[in-house]
Each structure stands twice: as structure tokens, then as C-alpha cells.
Chain A
């Protein structure tokens, strides 16, 4: 009912906004300090892709050390004299690599491209709005995000190098500036960059929620929104509630480091043969505050990946997504549960067995909606006419990774098994499938799928397929094998793992993983080449090249400022009207009136 009441009011807004959009802003206002959600979305995507290249180069170095430990690389020694002594990688540098690879990929690649990038680009288009609810805040959010990425990159160039306490920055390592070289300025910049990131993400999330609540087009009831929009909606709410506690923790960590407080530093800590003056603090407190952000964060990232997958599936099966309503309820259930499971990252922290039991229980509970979600995605394929275009291949990859990675999660979610597997490569393999693989493949699926809308040109299908297979197969080899390294007891983040006799047998496996990883990373060059050459020379795309139903395809490719011309679209049906019996076309866009085609949902 609320929709119906708000709907007529919208006419007024249409009028003023069109006028606003008629004046042509200059180049700077249009492409650099733009308040247009589409430009901001593309800015986020390009920034995120740049950070991904940086993160990938770090991963190359990590794999070199793990595949060929302490090998001499004279050329690298000359390029990176700080990290290599006589061409051999130093252990401190390795720790900084691991830390920065994790931080950059989680916060600056996946968050920027998948959540902020696609979120900004798609939400107004898919709900039928002209822009975000607070366009200025949106621009501010991008530039704060840009600054945050800049500060993080700058930390490579300060004395002592980048932060080295892991992407989770556990104290005391992160709280004592003298602990390791990377605990110096690198760590301080890390904290500041994270605070900026959270501020920027909060601004984006405010925009996402307000736009979805207030600016939907006439007829766009909540239960007519695409699953992409639903997933952004839930993940934005999670971001608003889960991220601020880390700001609080970051402030306290900063005070511990620079102003002599003891929030996280316990008594009697000895660093470099000196007893530190701190006393009474609790390092575990940081872990709680970090994971209170950290766990919802993984859902903030993976829910949009799943939402995007659910929107691409029907287009390439030509049938509705299976169980739309159930999928929405699943997203809500996962959102709620994700706030109360953070302790499963801390099973070995000496928590009471009762807490362990509780966190095991809620973690296993959250697998129920997630499993239903996955099964519904498989059911969406059932009986469909599969068209194996590049976006569809990547979406099928999402389902495969989601199933494989999720299976490993069952072991880790259970305190008893986790005690054995904690901090081993089993964990590394697991989260790379989920927060790494599912999100990565969904990002690619989204880019191949919406590229024609964003730039008015299509990407090469042939190269897209090459890119898919060269990504999917090596990725699977790398991270599936890492599960077995973990079962053999190989701990994560160890530089000199070869010093342990029982790990000598893993050397061969590590070489195979490193080679597969190098193939995987090399394959991304195919993507970059395809992306940029398609920008310049790709085939011109029409408004709706995939014959899809959602609102963004009703706009031109690329959509003009204000998105929809003089009048906003009116929505008459749900977003998955495919292959309705008795109709000639196998799809009916959301804007088609009930007089022309029956409404099925």
C-alpha cells in the first residue's frame, strides 16, 4: 500500500530532476567529481580493478616463496630492494605481502567492484530512479574511498614497509610499534585507511538503503525487486550495523599504539628483551570487535554475488529463477544470523565450551538458508534452455564454487573439527572459494553481463570463454588442493614452513599450486585486454542485448543522465517473467502492461 501512496507524488520529482539534468556540466563535474550514480559506479569499478592488479601482484610474490622457498630471484631483488636481500625474499616482507594481499582483495577489490561499483550502478537503474537518494554524499563516499585506497598503497613506501600483522591485525603484534618492521608506520596507515574505508562504506550504505526504500518507481513493490537489489539492500543494512564497531576498535588500537593506553595490551609483554609498561588489556577484545565486523563483512560481499548470479541465471535459462520469495527470505535470514556467529573465528581462543557450542549451533543454522539458496540456484537450471554465453559460464562457476567452498565451511563451523583445522591451509582454501571465488566469478559475470549497458559496447565472447576456462580450472586446482595441505597440517602465514620435517612432503603440492596460480593470474591479462579493447572497439550494443526483463534494460545503452528520459518507467510485474505460456516472446519486461501480457507474479 505504501508504494501506491508514494507513487503519485513521484511525478513532481520527475519534473525538477529532468530540468536539472538538462544543463550540461563540464568535463570535471561530469566524469571526475560527478554526482551521477553511473559514473560513480564505474569509478568504483575501475579503482577496484586497479587495486585487484596490485593484490594479484602481491599474490604472485607469495606463491613464488611458497612454491620455491628462499630461492634467489636476482631481478626481483633489483626491483624490490627493500623486500629482498641478495635476491632472497625476507620473512618480514612475506608477512607484509600476506597482510596487504588480504586487505586489498577483501576491502579494496571485492568491496569496491562488487558492492560499491555494481551497487551504485545498478540500484537506481533496477528500481527505476533517476539517481541515488543523496547524490552528493555518494560522490563524497567515492572520494573518501579513493583516499582510503591511496593511504593503504602509501603504506608500502614508509619506513618499515606495509602492515604485517595479517589482514585481521590482531594485537599485540599490531599494537606494539616496535614488534616487527611492519608494525611501525605501515600499521598506523593501515588503521587510518580502514577508518576512512568504513566512513566511505557507511555513506554508500546509507544511500543504498534510502534509495531502495524511498525512490522505487511506481508499481515497484518490494516483492517485485530483483534479487540483485534485495541482496544489496540486505548487505547495506549489514554494513551500517556491523562496521562501526571496528571504528571504535581502530580508535582504541591507535591509542594503544601512540598514546600509551592498554586496551588490548596485556601485562608483562616482552618485546626485544624489554618489558612493556602496558598492563591489564585484553587482546581478545580486539578479536571480538574485529570479527563483529569481519563476519558480516563476508556476507556483505557474498550476498551481492549470489544476488547477481540469481539475476543472470534466468536470462540464460529463459525461465524464472526458482523460489524467488524463498530466496528473499533466505537473504533476510542470512543477514540476521550473520550478526551473531562471529565467534566461530575464535574457537581456539580459549572461549568457554558453552560459547563454542553456541557459536557452532548458530553457524550450522546459517548453513540452512545458504544451502536452500544454493539448491534453488541449481533448481533454476532445471528444465531450462541453457545458453552458455560468458556471463552464464561465470554464473555456473559461482554455483560450483559456492557448493565446494560451502562444504568445507561445514567442517570449520563445527568447533570440534575447527580446533584441528584452525589457521591451516584448509581455512585458506575455504575462504578463497567463498569470499574469493564466488565473489570473483560473480564480479566477472556481472562485468560481462552489464558491460553493454555501461559502455554501449559488447565484450568479446570468444576471449570471454578463454578467460573463463583459464580462470575456473586453475582456481579450482589451487584452492581445492589447499584444503588437503590443511589436512596435512600446513599452517597459514608461515614463511619458513620447510623448516618442519612433516611439511617436507608438501613441497611438490606447493609447486603444482604455484604453477596453477601463475596460470590463473596470467589469465587475467586476457580479461584486461578484452575489457579495454572492447571499450574502444567492441561491437555496438543495443538497449537490451540479452533480451532481459529488469528495468535497467528499458534504458538506453549507456543510459543518459537521469536514466529514463522524460518519464520514469511504471512497473507492472515481477522481474522474472520468462517463457510465459501462450506468448510469442519468451520474455516480458517489467514495464509491459497487464493488458499486453498476463502477469504471473
Chain B
């Protein structure tokens, strides 16, 4: 086993270090997502259990939520395009994609707030009924993570605009990591 490694072509040192960092960051993101899956699984199982109680009254959800969903999906698509463009060295296209993704993410958050306002205007608050409690808590928990994701995106946007290389190195890693994270949030 060990002898074999001596004959293995030795990659350029800096590339190798960067590749190792890539792996470490990517692994970290995936593990973090695993913990988030468990977090939301707990909420979901609580939701299922609670729904079977006698006082459960389904809530009529605001229509704007559909618009929000589309915005977040589009944001995810734009970010994916930006990541691929960045890896291929098409800088301006990558920058545009990043900015679009961040803007659509902001639009999503605004839309969610609008949905909350609409519910509140109808007199539906957190404690009104169990469905509304779950709706507010789930959207809030998701929203907190979207804010964190947006933070990453904005950071990536500023780095991209300041001319950091997008096909390798820390910013590329950041983009890959935030893309994975963002897709996950959209999936939720």
C-alpha cells in the first residue's frame, strides 16, 4: 500500500492543498446539512403528531407563498449557472448570476414577510391555532437560515466584484459551499 504511493504522480503542491481544502469544506457543508435535515425532521414529525389532535384547523395560506417559492427556485437556478460559469472562467456571467441569485433571495424574504403581514391582518397570530403556530415557527426557522445563506451570497458577490478568481481558491470554494447550502434551503 505505502510503496504504491511513491509511484503515484505527485500533483502540484498548491493544487493539492487547495483540493484538500475543497474536500474539507464540502464535507463540512454536507454534515451541517445532515444536522439541518434532522432539525427539520423533528419539526415535521411534531407537525404530523400534532395534526392528529382534535383542535387542528387547517389554515388558508396566503397566495403570495407560491410567488415566493418560484422566486427562490429561480434564485437557485441563477446561482447554479453562476457556479458553473465561475468554474469555466466566464467571470462576468458568474458575477451577474451571483447578483441575480442574491436579489431573488432578498425578494423571497420580502415575500415571506408580506405573507406574515397578510396573516396578521386576518387576525392569525402565532398562538391562534396549532397550524398557524407551526407555520410561523417553520417559516421563521427557514428564514433564519435563508438570511445566513444570503449573508454568504453577499460576501461571495463582493469578493467576485473585487476580482477574486472564481475558478479556484477560497471564493470558488465559498461559491460551491453556498450553492449547496442554497439548493438545500430551496428544497426545504
Chain A interface residues (CB < 8 Å from chain B): 3-13, 15-16, 133-134, 202, 205-206, 209-210, 213-215, 218-219, 221, 240-249, 251-252, 255, 259-263, 267, 279-282, 285, 288-289, 292, 570, 572
Chain B residue at minimal CB-CB distance from A214: B24
Confirm or deny: B43 has a beta carbon within 8 angstroms of a beta carbon on chain A. Answer: yes
Q: Is there an interface contact between A209 and B42, defined as CB atoms closer than 8 Å?
A: no
Residue B110 is within 8 A (CB to CB) of chain A in the complex: no
Q: Which of B8, B32, B36, B39 contacts A8 (CB 8 A)?
A: B8
CA distance A289 to B46 in the complex (A): 8
The answer to whether B55 and A279 have CB atoms under 8 Å apart is yes
A263 pairs with B50, CB closer than 8 A: yes
Contact of B53 with A by CB under 8 A: yes
Interface residue? B31 (CB, 8 A): yes
- Closest chain-A Cβ to B115's Cβ sits at a distance in Å of 18
Residue B133 CB within 8 A of the other chain: yes
Which B residues, 88 to 147, have Cβ-Cβ distances below 8 Å to chain A? 126-127, 130, 133, 137, 141
Partner of A244, one of B11, B35, B54: B35
How many Å from the CB of B188 to the closest CB on chain A?
A: 13
Contact present for A209 and B31 (CB under 8 Å): yes
Q: Annotate B42-64 by CB proximity to A: 1 below 8 A, 0 otherwise.
A: 11011001100111100000000
Chain A: CB-nearest residue to B34: A240
Quote the shortest CB–CB distance from B56 to chain A (angstroms).
7
Decide if B126 touches A260 in the complex (CB within 8 Å): yes
Among the 9-residue stretches B13-21, B150-158, B169-177, the one with 4 or more Cβ atoms under 8 Å from chain A is B13-21
Distance between Cα atoms of A263 and B34 in the complex (Å): 25
How far apart sit A460 and B35, CA to CA, in the bound complex (Å)?
A: 43
CB of B16 within 8 A of CB of A134, answer: no
| Inter-chain contact B49/A240, CB cutoff 8 Å | no
Chain B contacts for A267, CB-based, 8 A:
55
In whole angstroms, what is the CA distance A279 to B50 when docked? 11
What chain A residues lie within 8 Å of B13 (beta carbons)?
A: 11-12, 15
CB-defined contacts of B50 to chain A, threshold 8 Å: 263, 280-282, 285
Q: Do B5 and A285 touch across chains, with their CB atoms under 8 A apart? A: no
Residue of A nearest to B8 (CB): A8
Chain A residues near B8 (CB-CB < 8 A): 4-5, 8
Which residue in A210, A263, A289 is a CB contact (below 8 Å) of B28? A210
Residues of B within 8 Å of A, CB-based: how many? 42
Could you pull out 25 A-B pairs where Cβ atoms are within 8 angstroms? A3-B1, A4-B1, A4-B8, A6-B20, A8-B11, A12-B13, A12-B14, A133-B24, A206-B28, A209-B27, A210-B24, A210-B31, A244-B36, A245-B38, A245-B39, A249-B42, A255-B126, A259-B126, A263-B46, A263-B133, A280-B53, A282-B53, A285-B49, A288-B45, A289-B42
Minimum distance in angstroms from A398 CB to a CB of chain B: 30
Instruction: Determine the distance from Cα of A488 to Cα of B21 in the docked complex, in whole angstroms.
Output: 59
CB A350 to nearest CB in B, in angstroms, measures 15
How distant is B185 from chain A, measured CB to nearest CB, in Å?
Answer: 15
Q: How far is the CB of A406 from chain B (nearest CB, A)?
A: 28
Partner of A13, one of B11, B20, B28: B20
Q: Which residues of chain A have C-beta atoms less than 8 A from B11's C-beta?
A: 8-9
Alpha-carbon separation in the docked complex, A567 to B34 (Å) = 35
In whole angstroms, how far apart are the Cα atoms of A121 and B133 in the complex?
A: 43
Choose one: A4, A134, A252, A282; the contact of B5 (CB below 8 Å): A4
On whether A134 and B46 interact (CB within 8 A), knowing A247-B39, A255-B126, A279-B55, the answer reads: no
The distance in angstroms between the C-alpha atoms of A7 and B11, with both chains bound, is: 11
Nearest-CB residue, chain B, relative to A293: B42
Expressed in whole angstroms, the Cα–Cα distance for A288 and B55 within the complex equals: 21
What is the CA–CA distance of A260 and B132 in the complex, to the nearest angstrom?
A: 12
Task: Report the bound CA distance from A73 to B11 in whole Å.
Answer: 73
Q: Is the CB of A248 within 8 A of B46?
A: yes
| Chain A contacts for B23, CB-based, 8 A | 214
A248 touches which one: B16, B19, B20, B43 (CB < 8 A)?
B43
Q: Does B5 contact A218, Cβ atoms closer than 8 Å?
A: yes
Q: A133-B28, A282-B49 are in contact. Are A242 and B54 (CB under 8 A)?
A: no
Q: Are B54 and A280 in contact (CB under 8 A)?
A: yes
B170 → chain A, closest Cβ, in Å?
13
Closest chain B residue to A219, Cβ basis: B2
How many angstroms between the C-alpha atoms of A249 and B49 in the bound complex? 13
Contacts of A213 in B (CB 8 A): 27
Q: Contacts A206-B32, A213-B27, A241-B35 known; A8 to B10 CB distance under 8 Å?
A: yes
Q: Given that A248-B46, A280-B54, A289-B46 are known contacts, is A259 also in contact with B127, CB under 8 Å in the complex?
A: yes
- Tell me if B4 counts as interface (CB < 8 A to partner A): yes
B41 contacts the other chain (CB 8 A): yes
Q: Which residues of B contact A3 (CB under 8 A)?
A: 1
A562 → chain B, closest Cβ, in Å? 15
**Contact status of A280 and B130, CB under 8 A, knowing A8-B10, A134-B24:** yes
Q: Are B42 and A240 in contact (CB under 8 A)?
A: no
Tell me the bound Cα distance from A9 to B28 in angstroms: 20
CB distance from B173 to the nearest CB of A (A): 13
Distance A13 CA – B31 CA, assembled complex (angstroms): 23
Are B5 and A263 touching (Cβ within 8 A)?
no
The residue in chain A whose Cβ has the minimal distance to the Cβ of B21 is A13
A292 to B43 CA separation, bound complex (whole angstroms): 13
A210 touches B27 (CB 8 A): yes
CB-CB nearest in chain A for B49: A285
CB nearest neighbor in B for A17:
B17
